[in-house]
Amino acid sequence: MFGQLCLISGPDSFLRERAITRAIAAASLLAPGASVNQIQASDLTSGSLDQLCSIDLFSTASIACIIDAQSTPAALRPTIETVISQLPDSLALIISHNGERGDATWLKVLTKLADQTDINQALNQRGIETFTRDEVTAAGASIEPGALRILIDAVGNDTRALAAAVAQLVADSDSNRLTLDTVGRYFSGRATVSSFTVVDDIVAGRIGPAIGGFRWAVATGVPRTSITAALASSLRQMGRYLAIAASHRPTADEVGAPAWKIDRIGQSARQWGDIGLADAISAVSQADFDIKGGAGDPDYAIERLIIRLYGIHRRAGRSSR
């Protein structure tokens, strides 16, 4: 691989990332002390290109990665061609490209110059099934055909989301055999898990589904901050409901919620109570700070928040009886 160009192309960003990781690992086996440098093609300048392809003072070899070459500045493309044609034996160059037709000319140039190519085609349904089954196998488990179908139906055809879902499912399973019942209970109906779904479980005091829903939401790309934002919004709505209800029946406009949701907000607000809501809003503010950099593990911060809110909800429920 050293002294050569490895070209990775294909429309799936996750599969390209996987291929880059494999290529780096393969090159590192040939030169264990090699330095690894990566850069987005859109960030390339003549200076950064020189730096990328230079050998570290403390290494005898270097692995350079240019990611998403379709975004390479036009002015630098001839320079990159020259670099590729004169690669020293101490440098392994890896370039990825999304394969889009709009940049076909540049891709064709890179393909001709490449010594190795790793082309990932868009996966059809059978390919998605094979990919998912391979993910389960790589995690040390197996999956029943029916369970595989439920998993893909719930998650969709996004390879990154499927890989995350498989990892979460295997990690939480007590068995290395994923059955129809196991996957059905864990994923059935959860393809559309969002921050609001998680918040609904938290507000209702359902700690198990809330933690499970949070893990699944994050694994499939829901931002952690959207969960705290949705939770803060829900708590504020309940607070407004209680404040207005002291004088008259709250309307949807006053609470800032859809009309169909008012009765449910009122019921939840009465369960939490003024003190409970104040404590909950304070806890959410702290968690929001933690996940934005105040704590080392944002996932732990939110799971701790869910547990704390469950305790507040239970105490509020007892005091309202």
pLDDT (tens digit, 9 = 90+) per residue, 273-283? 999 999 999 99
pLDDT in tens, 97-120: 999 888 999 999 999 999 999 998
Q: Which of 71, 120, 113 is nearest to 94 (CA)?
A: 113
In Å, how far are 231, 238, 263, 267 from 257, measured between CA atoms? 14, 10, 11, 14
Q: How many CB atoms lie within 10 A of CB 44?
A: 21
So what's the architecture of 5-119 in CATH?
A: 3-Layer(aba) Sandwich (3.40)
Report yes or no: 296 and 304 within 8 Å, Cβ to Cβ: no
- Joined together, the tokens standing for residue 313 give 């909800």
Whether pLDDT at 192 is above 60? no
Q: Which of 14, 9, 62, 58 is nearest to 35 (CA)?
A: 62
Name the residue ranges covered by the structural domains of the chain.
5-119, 125-191, 199-319
So what's the architecture of 125-191 in CATH?
A: Orthogonal Bundle (1.10)
Does residue 321 or residue 69 have the better pLDDT? Answer: 69
Mean pLDDT of 24-51: 90
Mean pLDDT of 72-87: 93
Whether pLDDT at 55 is above 90? no
**What's the CATH number for 199-319?**
1.20.272.10
Whether pLDDT at 221 is above 80? no
Q: Within 13 Å and on the Cβ side, how many CA atoms surround 157?
A: 8
Whether pLDDT at 194 is above 80? no
Whether pLDDT at 305 is above 70? yes
Which of 17-21, 288-292, 307-311 bottoms out in mean pLDDT, i.e. has the lowest? 288-292
